[in-house]
Amino acid sequence: MSTLTKKNALGFFEIRLESIGGLGANLAGKMLAETGALELGFNAANFSSYGSEKKGSPVKTFVRFCDPEIEIRDHSPIEEPHLIAVFHEALYKIVNVASGLQPDGVVLVNTTRDFDDVRSSLKIESGTIALIDAMGIAVEERTKINTAMLGAMFRICDFLDPEAMRTVIRRTFEKKYPQLVEPNLRTFDRGYNEVEFKTYEVPEGSQIKPFKRVQSLLGYKTQLPGGVIAAQGNSILKDLGGSRAGLLPEFHAEKCINCAACDNVCPDYCFVWESAEDKRGRLQQVLRGIDYQYCKGCLKCVEACPSDALTSLREEPGYAELNRVTQVFC
């Protein structure tokens, strides 16, 4: 059996997965812990923390490994991990993903951007950044990004044998979805082989990046008397961009015949219309574009469009922000 290369004072190697509901971090955490415990002889624990929504909201998954002679009696969220894996870059806007990272820790990011760019978004001083285009691999292999992220994590955690993970992938999929075994094995291997690293030296006296626990805006001091909620529930501020699995619809206005077939199938009212005169001077509704803030990339609109005015596009960083047509709410 191999031994842990790094441990904290309690003897644990700790991993935190920062993700968005729907990207498979919960399953990745389970498979990671299962591989360590059942195949490699470590003790392991895993759990996730997420809200009531299934998709689009932040998810944290925690994994602890230790040598078999140590019992895991700590089941609290991991605040000072050795490895952080960021499944989606949209998280930077809402969560301090790198908080609590050890000075010599590793942050793995699913991205197509370069090291310095990612480092400045993460606001980290030192440590190793690992980059993988997990979304690109998943789109090409028709799988999910979690398996590519697992491949990269196994390369980082050199005490974990990748062959053990291949066994767990086969066991997880072969009964119910045998057709997914080979694509997932390929995805895992590509994650393992394609991850790239850059290390930033640890300055002398460098400290752990302080962990910030997310505080609720409302508490017993700030809540209105009687617990009244003054703002109506709505999703106007929600950003569903994190639910997209690498593809989004691209709008070609010159081909659009304003038939509204796309709007009829869109589950999130993403299409933005305006009143304009047609060639005969009659007032009609004309499609202006897509509000990508609410688009979760289901591509139902692309299937419904009769005139190829919508096509699917591999999402590049910043594309949605640059090409978003904003809804006007009255």
**Which among 216, 214, 206 is positioned nearest to 101, based on CA atoms?**
206
| Torsion angle of C-alpha atoms 236, 237, 242, 245, degrees rounded to 10 | 20
- The CB-of-273 to ligand SF4 minimum distance in angstroms stands at 9
- The CB-of-288 to ligand SF4 minimum distance in angstroms stands at 11
90 part of the interface to ligand SF4, by CB under 6 A: no
Number of residues engaging ligand SF4 in binding (CB under 6 A): 27
Piece of the chain touching ligand SF4 by CB under 6 A; list 116-124, 193-201, 222-230, 293-301: 293-301
**Which among 305, 233, 237, 240 is positioned nearest to 267, based on CA atoms?**
240
- The CB-of-319 to ligand SF4 minimum distance in angstroms stands at 13
Piece of the chain touching ligand SF4 by CB under 6 A; list 34-42, 85-93, 217-225, 256-264: 256-264
- The CB-of-316 to ligand SF4 minimum distance in angstroms stands at 16
Residue 234's identity, in one-letter code, is N
296 part of the interface to ligand SF4, by CB under 6 A: yes
100 part of the interface to ligand SF4, by CB under 6 A: no
304 part of the interface to ligand SF4, by CB under 6 A: yes
For ligand SF4, what does the binding mask look like between residues 230 and 249, x meaning CB under 6 A? -------------------x
Piece of the chain touching ligand SF4 by CB under 6 A; list 70-78, 84-92, 122-130, 287-295: 287-295
Give a three-class secondary structure readout of the chain: CCCCCCCCCCCCEEEEEEEECCCCHHHHHHHHHHHHHHHCCCEEEEEEEECCCCCCCEEEEEEEEECCCCCCCCCCCCCCCCEEEECCHHHHHCCCCCCCCCCCCEEEEECCCCHHHHHHHHCCCCEEEEEECHHHHHHHHCCCHHHHHHHHHHHHCCCCCHHHHHHHHHHHHCCCCHHHHHHHHHHHHHHHHHCEEEEECCCCCCCCCCCCCCCCCCCCCCCCHHHCCCCCCCCCCCCHHHHCCCEEEEECHHHCCCCCHHHHHCCCCCEEEEEEECCCCCEEEEEEEECHHHCCCCCHHHHHCCCCCEEEEECCCCHHHHHCCCCCCC
Piece of the chain touching ligand SF4 by CB under 6 A; list 14-22, 44-52, 128-136, 297-305: 297-305
- The CB-of-269 to ligand SF4 minimum distance in angstroms stands at 8
208 part of the interface to ligand SF4, by CB under 6 A: no
286 part of the interface to ligand SF4, by CB under 6 A: no
Candidate list 70, 139, 208, 259; residue touching ligand SF4; CB under 6 A: 259
161 part of the interface to ligand SF4, by CB under 6 A: no
Candidate list 122, 135, 298, 320; residue touching ligand SF4; CB under 6 A: 298
Candidate list 8, 258, 323, 327; residue touching ligand SF4; CB under 6 A: 258
Give backbone dihedrals phi and psi of 324, rounded to 5 degrees, phi first: -70, 135
Candidate list 105, 290, 315, 320; residue touching ligand SF4; CB under 6 A: 290
Candidate list 88, 262, 315, 324; residue touching ligand SF4; CB under 6 A: 262
300 part of the interface to ligand SF4, by CB under 6 A: yes
**Which positions touch ligand SF4 (CB under 6 A)?**
249, 256-262, 265-268, 270, 287, 290, 295-301, 304-305, 307, 309-310
